[in-house]
Amino acid sequence: MRSLLRRLACVCGGSFGVVVVLATFFVALCGATFAQAETAWLGLVTRQNPLGGAEVTDIYPDSPAARTHAIHPGDVVIGIDKKPIGKPADLADQVRKSKVGQTLALSLRNATGVRRELQVRLSGRPDQQSLERLANQMEEARQKLLIGQPAPAFSFEPLRDHKPAPLPGRTRASFLGKPLVLTFFATWCGPCLREIPQLTELQARYPQARVLALSVEPKDVIRSAIAQFSPGYLVGQDPGRGAYDSFFVGSYPTTFLIDAAGIVRGVDHGDLETIEPILETLFRAPHGKTVVPPQTDRPSPKQP
């Protein structure tokens, strides 16, 4: 930039006013170029559909796709502006080549095979912080749908158990008959590590329940954290991310309360403010019966 201004000064005979005008024009031109380079955004999360196309699994809140109120999880994008879409990469490529403000004609196929056309006007892609906030909103919305429903089946590899009696199995069914506090964590996650004493105290206070912490990290990494922090509850590995995906986990720590009948009763993110009162209610039930506590839609705070 400095070299360019020197050249402009020489060409203009050293006239400062002319240089300033030309420099201002140059900066404005660069700004316009950068604005034109803004990335277009549709706001869909997709996966490969077995019959071809990009199957919608999630929709970002307040995105162009969400604002149509006509695209739903399970729909399959099979074309854009009459161009076929065979896989998610095709969809991403077409959106990337489009401009902010451009209207695309989407061809969709629903779960029953019915096809339809839809007009969507693209907006600019949000910054990374905004995308993470929207992703958290999607995660919480999907997890709330699990409340009141049978917990998804999952399996795990036990790495530490504070109880002398070995666990009878390595699946969700192993815990039927007693409440389960299921937490998903990572060893690099500060809030997860700070939660270990709280979960240890919770397990000691409710010995009839089980606390299970799962991580998708390698076993040696998890065992190293176990040796350093000595959690007083069961810790295991989630091989293949089966449990993580079934519970729609995208941030840490995320903790679910599952009652003795296997029904999801609550979820927390970064604290146990929701599930602790529900767990207390379960153990206050007369004659050992499970009390179904009222569901709560209180949003849980996210930890960085």
HSE at residue 217, side-chain half, CA atoms within 13 A, is: 19
Rg from Cα positions in the chain:
26
185 and 53 both lie in a single domain: no
172 and 103 both lie in a single domain: no
Q: What is the pLDDT of residues 19-47, one digit of tens each?
A: 333 344 433 444 444 444 689 999 999 99
Q: What is the pLDDT of residue 164?
A: 45
106 and 150 both lie in a single domain: no
- Coil vs helix vs strand at 263: strand
CATH code of residue 169: 3.40.30.10
Q: What is the DSSP letter of 229?
A: H
- Contacts (Cβ under 8 Å, ≥6 apart) of 151: 172, 180, 182, 256, 258, 262, 263, 264
Number of domains making up the chain: 2
Q: What is the pLDDT of residues 89-126, one digit of tens each?
A: 999 999 999 999 999 999 999 999 999 999 999 999 99
CATH code of residue 85: 2.30.42.10
The answer to whether residue 294 is domain-embedded is no
66 and 211 both lie in a single domain: no
Residue 59: which domain range? 40-124
Average pLDDT, the chain: 81
CA-wise closest residue to 299 among 263, 268, 264, 275:
268
Q: What is the pLDDT of residues 129-174, one digit of tens each?
A: 998 888 888 888 888 899 999 999 998 999 876 554 445 457 777 7
- In percent, how much of the chain has pLDDT > 90? 57
Mean pLDDT of 57-84: 93
The answer to whether residue 22 is domain-embedded is no
144 and 282 both lie in a single domain: yes
148 and 119 both lie in a single domain: no
pLDDT higher than threshold 80 for residue 184? yes
Cis peptide before 126 (omega within 30 of 0): no
